Structure 1
């Protein structure tokens, strides 16, 4: 079957908790569990394993993996027909996540999930992005080598073992994320990333659709479609979004005036900046600063706060 996709918003990146191996004799079942509180990545290294999650059945063969949700009911749907071995990895995330049927659904819900993330993860002034991990995975040789590395780390002292396991897990997840992106709409993703990088590097400057067309050599309509598909907003909407995110950082990290911040991030008029900020955040720039800073101890100089 086509695999659903687990959509994570980061930072923070999903983090490693524990790992191990499990063995089944012919005739044995995977254990039945509900709401275990962590994601359970299981990788079959020998034999096959029949497992269900909330009524959906999967038959995992050697070299296949499945990510089980922390709030689901998991159970063996059939007995193993032969000796079976698997690697399991428990991980969790502090931020927002959602399981979607396909990439189009992920991208359609991306903006909503990001806004939820900023509230639940208390990242209201942080630049966030998405990680897409297939639920059902065919493990390639390079990724299997990373998984086998977890066992080798058992020989390390505990203090070093935990650091190295976390690093190995993140590398493994990065491979899965990049692998899924390469199978999706590659052209749209690459163009959107070029637009995003251009805006990040040049956001204080006057940026327009004609300028992006000149710089990237694509028609504005194609640029807009690519950004909508990947980021859920047009280039000009993303430019405004990014400028407001930078403004939030400057409001919290400097004692600059609102007028100076508006100028620094590319607004010609402070009144227009305040209007855009209030419309997007539901609060004025000054009130946003007051909400998160101690006004009694606020410095009077105009330099950046360390």
Structure 2
């Protein structure tokens, strides 16, 4: 179904807060709430739930799920016409997220969201990735099977139950993320991930478009198209970006001279590295180290 996409960046992975279920008889309506400050994932197990959010009304049918936003106005858009049962899961995240009209918009905004997330989540030198969850979705049999384990955990001791529910929620979220992509997007993501993995494992070496063509067995133009679609940058742009990120790790975690760090991450000339770093970060490598490294 056509739906908006919730785009999260991890780490941290969106985390479980609370879980429960509700029953609505004929004539009952969903409760009205405003800015509940957590995401509310509603799964209809039976019947149909009329629900509204910020003036947009819809019906959620059996086997479907809908995510209400933490900063929205939620309400029952009409009384239920049949007996309806729902499961609700409250979850939250830390850092940046956004609602996109479709996957193309998510991909186009990905790098900007990642940069914003790193600042908000204090991840100056961490590897991050995207999670895409449809706002309104038809659940697969596997996702419903994972969801049912929440009920099985009701008899566990509280301390154990909380750990298991967090793990179950992450497994459930993983299914939703995997199922959100079309076959065309899956093809692009699979190839882009292969390129990204190769770059990550070999970034200190001399990587060129010719090398990638030989390793991936695709024309460089096609590889660039797939990387642009998924990561918002070409393989060569991603290589420079990844080298920069790795150099940040070394600036913060080692006492190595700038010249050695440049060489370690694949820059042949320290002057090129320093110029590139300053252009991207707004301060020199030594300035970055002084600003963020722990003072002794």
The alpha-carbon deviation at position 78 of structure 1 amounts to 1.1
The alpha-carbon deviation at position 187 of structure 1 amounts to 2.2
SS of 1:276's partner is: helix
The alpha-carbon deviation at position 142 of structure 1 amounts to 1.6
- Which range moves more in the overlay, 184-193 or 219-228? 184-193
Task: Give the aligned partner of residue 148 of structure 1.
Answer: 148
The alpha-carbon deviation at position 247 of structure 1 amounts to 0.4
Q: Which structure 2 residues correspond to residues 71-86 of structure 1 after superposition, within 5 A?
A: 71-86=71-86
Task: Give the aligned partner of residue 217 of structure 2.
Answer: 217
> Is the 1:4–1:102 contact (alpha carbons within 8 Å) kept by the matching residues of 2?
yes
Task: Give the aligned partner of residue 181 of structure 1.
Answer: 181
Q: Which structure 2 residues correspond to residues 42-61 of structure 1 after superposition, within 5 A?
A: 42-61=42-61
1:164 pairs with 2:168: no
Query: 1:19 and 1:184 mapped to 2: Cα distance?
Result: 34
> Is the 1:42–1:87 contact (alpha carbons within 8 Å) kept by the matching residues of 2?
yes
Task: Give the aligned partner of residue 27 of structure 1.
Answer: 27
SS of 2:181's partner is: helix
| Alignment TM-score, normalising by the size of structure 2 | 0.98
> Is the 1:103–1:184 contact (alpha carbons within 8 Å) kept by the matching residues of 2?
no
Task: Give the aligned partner of residue 136 of structure 1.
Answer: 136
The alpha-carbon deviation at position 182 of structure 1 amounts to 4.7
Q: Which structure 2 residues correspond to residues 192-231 of structure 1 after superposition, within 5 A?
A: 192-231=192-231
SS of 1:52's partner is: strand
- Which range moves more in the overlay, 210-219 or 87-96? 210-219
> Is the 1:203–1:239 contact (alpha carbons within 8 Å) kept by the matching residues of 2?
yes
Q: Which structure 2 residues correspond to residues 196-275 of structure 1 after superposition, within 5 A?
A: 196-275=196-275
SS of 2:180's partner is: helix
| Alignment TM-score, normalising by the size of structure 1 | 0.94
Q: Count residues with an aligned counterpart.
A: 296
Gap regions ≥5 residues in structure 1: 298-306
C-alpha RMSD over aligned residues? 1.1
Query: 1:76 and 1:98 mapped to 2: Cα distance?
Result: 24
Structure 1 residue runs of 4+, over 6 Å off?
none
The alpha-carbon deviation at position 140 of structure 1 amounts to 1.6
